[in-house]
Amino acid sequence: MIWLLIAAGGGLGATTRYGVIEWMKHKEQPFFIATFLVNSVGSLLMGMALHLGAEQATLSSFFTIGFLGAFTTFSTFAFDVVKLIEERDYRAMLLYPVLTLFVGIVFVTLGWQIFS
């Protein structure tokens, strides 16, 4: 049963991320902004979910492993950095990873603290 819940969460997370990517394209934002946005929001939600889901393993697995696992993306983040290097956008290539890591850690902490 838990496998199906994780798969359902993953499908929902992946389609939500795709929607954010398309929305950012429509807003004519740089390609890496969508990845930064989903990873930042996902970090905040992860902090909240880990705090709230401690007693409810099934719901927590659906949301953290399934939805957030598919919604957030490290591989796309890494590929975005490679594209920035290829485009010789060195300022963004340095700033994007630093901000992503910093905001991710701060947002997980904030999400955890919201319900403490």
Joined tokens for residue 46? 């992860």
| 72 is annotated as contributing to ligand binding | yes
Burial of 33 (0-12, 13-18, 19+ CB in 10 A): middle
CA dihedral 89, 90, 94, 96 (to 10 degrees): -10
Residue 29 structure tokens = 């934002």
Q: Locate tokens 């953290």: which residue?
A: 64
46 vs 89: CA distance, rounded Å: 31
Answer yes or no: are the C-beta atoms of 73 and 39 closer than 8 Å.
yes
State yes or no: 69 annotated in a binding site. yes
Residue stretches of the annotated binding site: 69, 72
Residue stretches of the annotated binding site for Na(+): 69, 72
